[in-house]
Structures are given as C-alpha cells and as structure tokens.
Amino acid sequence: MGIPNQTPLESAVLTLFHELYGDRGFPSPVSIQVRRRDNTGAGRYVELECPGQMDIADGYLDLAGRYIEMKSLPNGMMAVVQIKNHRIHVLEFTVYGGDSWDGTEEDWALV
C-alpha cells in the first residue's frame, strides 16, 4: 500500500518525523495528505493536511541533527515541519550552501 500523493523523499522524511515525535502525537505518514507542493529552486514547500491535533507547540520541528544527502546537492539539504494550531501544516525542504534544486529526487539518503 503506497502513501497517496507523497513523493518517496517526503514519505521518508515524514516517517522520520513520526519516529522522532510520535510519542507527542506526530501522525503516521499514511494519515497525511499533500494539499499543494511548490518547488522554489532553493527547496520545496509542501502544504499538508491531517486530522487530529498533536501535543506539540506551534512552531517548527527539525530532524534532530539528521539531514538529507543527495547526489546533485554537494552540501545536502534540511527539512523542517511547521506546526500551526497543534496540527501539521507545512513540510519545508531547504538546500544548504546556496545550491539550486529542481525538485528531482534522485540518489538521496537520510543521514
């Protein structure tokens, strides 16, 4: 069973967020829907929708020291999730070092 409308990278990152913050109510990726996706050249904004609230204050969650390596990005990239009204709101990818990214997900790893 695949996760509807998430890319493989988005799904892997959301799974890691669930592993890191699931004890505080961060939802499983299978319950998260992508509403909109915007590749910016320096990253990507992914608007998310998920029922239920979390025991997490509004603000940003990070990957707790982990980051994304990608063959086409020599400095890698990071990801954060914005929490708004105790609900998951936006998944944001940002490229490190001023590199540009066209949104193509290839040869990546979470490290």
Task: Read off the pLDDT of residues 30-72 as tens digits, 9 standing for 90 and up.
Answer: 999 999 999 999 999 999 999 889 999 999 999 999 999 999 9
Q: Rounded to whole angstroms, how far apart are CA atoms 89 and 68? A: 21
- The answer to whether position 1 is within a domain reads no
- The answer to whether position 2 is within a domain reads no
Q: Is 47 exposed, middle or buried (0-12, 13-18, 19+ CB in 10 A)?
A: middle
Question: Do 77 and 102 form a contact (C-beta atoms < 8 A)?
Answer: no
Instruction: Give the pLDDT score at 6.
Output: 95
Written as six digits, the tokens of 45 are 């904004």
Domain residues for 20?
8-110
- The answer to whether position 23 is within a domain reads yes
